[in-house]
């Protein structure tokens, strides 16, 4: 049995699957990273992904252009981020509650909107055409290399984008003025405002960017991964991304590694579910348990650092 399992795992197509499964989680995890750096907890990622998945698909369907679909999803995501920002920064709704509201919209509101726009219920079914789907690309040289080519070449454009975005988000946060401002605002808003940086403005920018990135994840889901939109398709990826952010210490590369862990576990689950005697459900547990353990280890290390003045560290 184990042998079978290993045979299945040590195949190029397994790694291919891991990468494919990781991509949408990675987009959302990067979204969480940007928001968190500015001191905003974006628990609405799940809902933003659902809504942008729908709108990405609809835009693509209306124009028969996957590119416009992706752009539409990004735009929708950014707008949803601004809505969350408006309610939390302006009307002072708790940011967590604002996020939960967005998730409600994502859960049922999308079904409603799909019906309103297309008359369909629950999924986009026969609306899918090849024009709408995000194309895959073969990478010239790598494609030729045996095994590696099979793993790395032939992914969707957005899959590559997800990994490129790890670099871009890192670049944004650590190499650009706006990134510097985001980090300063998240860590010490007083210091930022004392040199004329607009704290509110930066938070709006960060949460809009966060929404836009989640939009890419949403577009990926409906326009490639599931080949169409359906009501259960995000399935907790937004929450997983939040955990990946926490486990990855809030850094882009860390978030990528944690996302890969989730991707790996999910791919294992797919493989394992075909095997006798292995519970795919228990395999599914791995990423969640790993997250909790990761958080525990992280918290212990933080606590050790803070020990010296711990008693005084009562919340203000």
Partner 1 sequence: MEHNDLALDMRGITKIYPNVIAANREVDFSVKPGEIHALIGENGAGKSTLMKILFGMERPTEGEIFVDGQAVSFSSPTDAIAKGIGMVHQHFMLVPSLTVAENIVLGMAPRKSGFLIDYREALELTRASAEKFNLHVEPSARVADIATGMKQKVEILKALVRGARVLILDEPTAVLTSQETAGLFQELKNLKEQGFTIIFISHKLNEVKELTDRITIMRAGKSVGVYDTGAVSEEEISRRMVGRDVILSVEKEAVAPGEVVLQVQGLRYVNEWGKQALDGVTFSVRSGEIVGVAGVEGNGQRELVDILFGLRLPESGTARVGGVKLTGLPQARIRSLGVSYVPEDRMTLGIAAAASVEENVISDRFQGKRFNHGPLFRMKELHKESDRLILDYSILCKTRSQEVGMLSGGNIQKVVVAREFSSDPVLIIADQPTRGIDVGATELIRKRLIDLSRAGAAVLLVSADLNEVMELSDSLIVFYEGKIAGYFDNGEWDDVMMGEYMLGLKHQSDEEIGRASHA
Partner 2 sequence: MRDRRMVFFGIARGAMAIILALAVGAVFIFLSSKTPFTALRYLLIGPLLSFHDGSVIFNAQYLFQIFAAMIPTIFTGLAVCVMFSANQFNLAGEGCVLAGGFIGGILGVYLQINSGWHAVVCVLAATVACGLIMLIPALLKVKLGASEMVTSLMLNFIILYVVLHYLNFNFADRTKGATMTKAFRSTAVIPSLVPGNSKMSVGFIVALLATALIAFFMYRTRWGYAIRMIGINESFALYSGMNVGWTIVLAQVIGGMLSGMGGSLEVLGRYQTYLWRELPGYGWVGITVAILAKNNPVYVPLAAFFIAYLNKGCLLMSTHCDVPSEMIDIIQAAIFLFFAAEQFLSGFRQKLVVKTATEDLMRLEADRGSRGGGSHA
- Residue ranges that bind partner 1, judged by CB under 8 A: 171, 175-177, 180-181, 183-184, 187-188, 190-192, 194-197, 309, 311-312, 314, 316
Question: Which option in partner 1, partner 2, none does residue 175 bind, with CB closer than 5 to 8 A by kind?
Answer: partner 1
How many chain residues are in contact with partner 2, going by CB under 8 A?
Answer: 52
In this structure, is the dihedral angle defined by the CA atoms of residues 71, 73, 79 and 82, taken in order, positive or negative? Answer: negative
Q: Does 236 bind partner 2 (CB under 8 A)?
A: yes
Residues 27/237, Cβ–Cβ less than 8 Å = no
Give the position of tokens 């219920």.
121
The values of phi and psi at residue 230, to 5°, are -140, 160
Question: Which option in partner 2, partner 1, none does residue 180 bind, with CB closer than 5 to 8 A by kind?
Answer: partner 1
Q: Does 96 bind partner 2 (CB under 8 A)?
A: yes
Residues 6+ apart with CB under 8 A from 259: 22, 25, 26, 29, 241, 244, 248
CA nearest to 129, candidates 64, 68, 51, 217: 64
Q: How far is the CB of 252 from partner 1 (least distance, A)?
A: 15
Question: Which option in partner 2, partner 1, none does residue 161 bind, with CB closer than 5 to 8 A by kind?
Answer: none
Question: Between residues 67 and 296, which has the closer beta carbon with respect to partner 2?
Answer: 296
Q: Does 102 bind partner 2 (CB under 8 A)?
A: yes
Question: Between residues 218 and 250, which has the closer beta carbon with respect to partner 2?
Answer: 250
Q: How far is the CB of 192 from partner 1 (least distance, A)?
A: 7
Binding partner 2 (rule: CB under 8 A), the pick from 4, 64, 108, 178 is: 108
Considering only residues 6 through 65, tell me which ones interact with partner 2, judged by CB under 8 A.
Answer: 41, 43
Length of the chain: 316
Query: In this structure, what token pair is assigned to residue 168?
Result: 């871009």
Cα end-to-end distance, the chain, whole Å: 56
Angle between helix 157-175 and 252-272 (nearest 10): 150
Instruction: Provide the 10 A C-beta neighbour count for residue 102.
Output: 27
Q: How far is the CB of 193 from partner 1 (least distance, A)?
A: 8
Query: In this structure, what token pair is assigned to residue 25?
Result: 């989680």
3-state secondary structure of 136: strand
Q: Does 71 bind partner 2 (CB under 8 A)?
A: no
Residues found near partner 2 in the complex (CB under 8 A): 41, 43, 87, 90-94, 96-98, 100-105, 107-112, 115-116, 121, 232, 236, 239-240, 242-243, 246, 279, 281-282, 284-285, 288-289, 291-292, 295-296, 298-300, 302-303, 314-316
């Amino acid at each position: 049995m184990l042998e079978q399992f290993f045979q299945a795992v040590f195949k190029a197509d397994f790694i291919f699957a891991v990468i494919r499964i990781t991509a949408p989680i990675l987009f959302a995890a990067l979204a969480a990273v940007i928001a968190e750096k500015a001191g905003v907890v974006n628990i609405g990622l799940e809902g933003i992904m659902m809504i942008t998945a729908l709108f990405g698909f609809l835009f693509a369907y209306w124009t028969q252009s996957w590119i416009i679909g992706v752009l539409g999803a990004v735009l929708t995501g950014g707008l949803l981020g601004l809505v969350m920002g408006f309610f939390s920064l302006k009307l002072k709704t708790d940011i967590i509650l604002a996020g939960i509201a967005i998730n409600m919209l994502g859960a049922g509101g999308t079904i409603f909107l799909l019906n309103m726009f297309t008359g369909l219920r629950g999924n986009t079914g026969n609306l899918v055409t090849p024009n709408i789907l995000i194309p895959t690309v073969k990478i010239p040289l790598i494609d030729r290399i045996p095994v590696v080519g099979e793993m790395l070449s032939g992914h969707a454009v957005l899959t590559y984008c997800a990994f490129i975005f790890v670099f871009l988000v890192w670049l944004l946060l650590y190499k650009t003025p706006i990134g510097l401002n985001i980090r300063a605002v998240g860590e010490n808003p007083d210091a930022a405002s004392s040199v004329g940086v607009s704290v509110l403005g930066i938070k709006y920018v960060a949460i809009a960017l966060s929404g836009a990135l989640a939009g890419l994840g949403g577009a990926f889901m409906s326009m490639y991964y599931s080949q169409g939109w359906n009501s259960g398709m995000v399935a907790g990826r937004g929450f997983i991304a939040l955990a990946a952010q926490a486990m990855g210490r809030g850094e882009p590369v860390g978030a990528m590694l944690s996302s890969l862990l989730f991707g790996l576990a999910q791919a294992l689950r797919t493989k394992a579910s075909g095997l006798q005697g292995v519970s795919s459900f228990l395999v599914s547990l791995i990423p969640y348990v790993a997250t909790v353990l990761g958080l525990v280890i992280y918290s212990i290390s933080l606590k050790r650092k803070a020990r010296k003045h711990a008693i005084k560290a009562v919340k203000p």
